[in-house]
Amino acid sequence: MVPTWKSSFDIRIPPCIRLKERGRNNWQVFSPVIGRRLKARVAIESHLRVAHQMSQLDVHYQPIVDIESQRVVALESLVRWKHPDYGFVSPTRFIGVAEESGLIVPIGEFVLQRVLEDTRRWLDAAARWFQSPSTFPRSSYSDMTSRISY
């Protein structure tokens, strides 16, 4: 039986590439386990492309705390994928596929754009809070800022 290009082309390329990476005089047996792994990888890549286009990716923030001062000194941005049927997909399942397929570049751009938007929104909210007269009813703004240390 001659395989059709449409059904087998994508699945056969990765083992060939893996074989080339091992050097000359090599061979590899194609097994059902390898076939299932490749189908899963292709499915993840396909779903990930849709996820990026359909806004299923989101950014969560992990605080980075200075142990000595016990203060938050930074935030780490983490991309998360909420699949409509499977729920949250672990980054360990999709980051490697994104890197191999080149999807990591548009995903990285999305994360950077979201972080910049969130930072702007947080700064604007903080500025509004500090401008509110009810925020500091008993002291002047300049007196208070001189007492605050970073």
Q: Would you say 52 and 79 are in contact if contact means Cβ atoms under 8 Å apart?
A: no
Q: For residue 91, what pLDDT is reported?
A: 92
Question: H-helix or E-strand containing 109?
Answer: helix 104-131
- pTM of the full structure: 0.64
Cα end-to-end span (Å), the chain: 73
**Alpha-carbon distance 95 to 48, whole Å?**
10
pLDDT tens digit sequence for 8-61: 334 444 555 666 667 677 666 667 777 788 888 888 999 999 999 999 999 999
What are the backbone dihedrals phi and psi of residue 59, each rounded to the nearest 5 degrees, phi first?
-115, 130
In the chain the beta strands, taken as DSSP E runs, fall at: 57-66, 71-83, 87-89
**Alpha-carbon distance 138 to 28, whole Å?**
77
Class assignment of domain 8-27+36-130? Answer: alpha beta
The residue type of 122 is W
Instruction: Give the rounded percent of residues in the chain with a pLDDT score beyond 70.
Output: 67
Q: For residue 83, what pLDDT is reported?
A: 92
135's tokens: 């925020």
Please compute the mean of the pLDDT values over residues 73-77 and round it to a whole number. 94
**Alpha-carbon distance 98 to 44, whole Å?**
9
pLDDT tens digit sequence for 115-131: 999 999 988 887 776 66
Q: Would you say 61 and 111 are in contact if contact means Cβ atoms under 8 Å apart?
A: no
